[in-house]
Amino acid sequence: MTKLSVNINKIATLRNARGGNMPNLLQVAADAQQFGAEGITIHPRPDERHIRYQDAFDLLKVVTTEYNIEGNPVPKFIDLVLQVKPTQVTLVPDAEDAITSNAGWNTIKHKDFLTEVVTEFKRNGIRTSLFVDPTEEMVAAAAITGTDRVELYTESYATEYAKGNKDGIAPYVAAALQAQRVGLGLNAGHDLSLENIKYFKDNIPNLLEVSIGHALICEALYLGLENVIQLYLNKLAN
């Protein structure tokens, strides 16, 4: 079964809007796991506009499932991950001023840098994943860095699916098969939703984990967090 990791960045955005502690990020993380989520994901950025670096430490008190920290491996981020020691670190090449992640790594161009960072994290017992576009070439090059997994950037799939073009999944299938050939575990995330998750899961071989935040929190505004998590788990299981 594909695991569901809930990205709680948007909860932090809402909390920060008023400067207090409502909603309580730790309580939401605990509740999400109680409702069935099999992981919690955060993506701290240098400006801390949603997840704060202190949140990463505070969440250690409540995360009992898989703990995934995403981000660009700048020195401050590397230091944070090495101190927190989450289950998994997902390396994402987002610019400091990016609203959200918008591209995967060029694992050929950045091979030496990624190899160095991956080696350091794995030396500290942290599973590594590289955020990549759905191309066989980038997946194959990712394996050379020593990473444990890749996370496929799924925005283009979601965009095409919303247009009714189910053929948009084809490069993801090819990338997934390439990951299998080179011995990499496979994650996926970005713009996955209740509308498109089942078709993606049913067609992508060996999908270990999906990380979903923005859509899940938006859906929870209407349907409730517990109900939405159960709906995702059902779609991922069948």
In DSSP terms, 70 is beta-bridged to: 90
CB 178 within 8 A of CB 139: yes
In the prediction, which pLDDT does 31 show?
98
Q: Which residue in the list 66, 190, 209, 219 is annotated as catalytic?
A: 190
Q: Which amino acid is at 139?
A: V
In the prediction, which pLDDT does 103 show?
82
Sign of CA dihedral 38, 194, 102, 221: negative
String of DSSP letters for 130-188? EEE-S-HHHHHHHHHTT-SEEEEE-HHHHHHHHTT-GGGGHHHHHHHHHHHHTT-EEEE
Per-residue DSSP letter, 59: G
- C-alpha 86/C-alpha 88 separation (Å) is 5
In DSSP terms, 132 is beta-bridged to: 152
In the prediction, which pLDDT does 64 show?
98
Nearest to 231 by CA among 204, 196, 186: 196
**Residue 214: active-site member:** no
Q: Which residue in the list 43, 50, 151, 219 is annotated as catalytic?
A: 43
In the prediction, which pLDDT does 100 show?
53
In the prediction, which pLDDT does 98 show?
52
CB 134 within 8 A of CB 152: yes
In the prediction, which pLDDT does 94 show?
81
The structure tokens listed for 205 are: 């071989």
Q: Which domains does the chain have, with CATH numbers?
A: 3-237 (3.20.20.70)
How far does Cα 220 stand from its chain's mean position?
18
Q: Which residue in the list 38, 50, 66, 70 is annotated as catalytic?
A: 70
The structure tokens listed for 63 are: 């995360």
Q: What would you report as the CA-atom Rg of the chain, rounded to the nearest whole angstrom?
A: 17
CB 112 within 8 A of CB 142: no
Per-residue DSSP letter, 95: -
Q: Which amino acid is at 56?
A: A
- C-alpha 102/C-alpha 54 separation (Å) is 25
The structure tokens listed for 229 are: 């998590």
In the prediction, which pLDDT does 188 show?
98
Sign of CA dihedral 40, 46, 48, 49: negative
Mean pLDDT by 10 residues, the chain (238 residues): 96 95 98 98 93 98 98 96 98 70 87 98 98 97 98 97 97 98 98 98 98 98 98 94
Question: pTM of the full predicted structure?
Answer: 0.95
In the prediction, which pLDDT does 84 show?
98
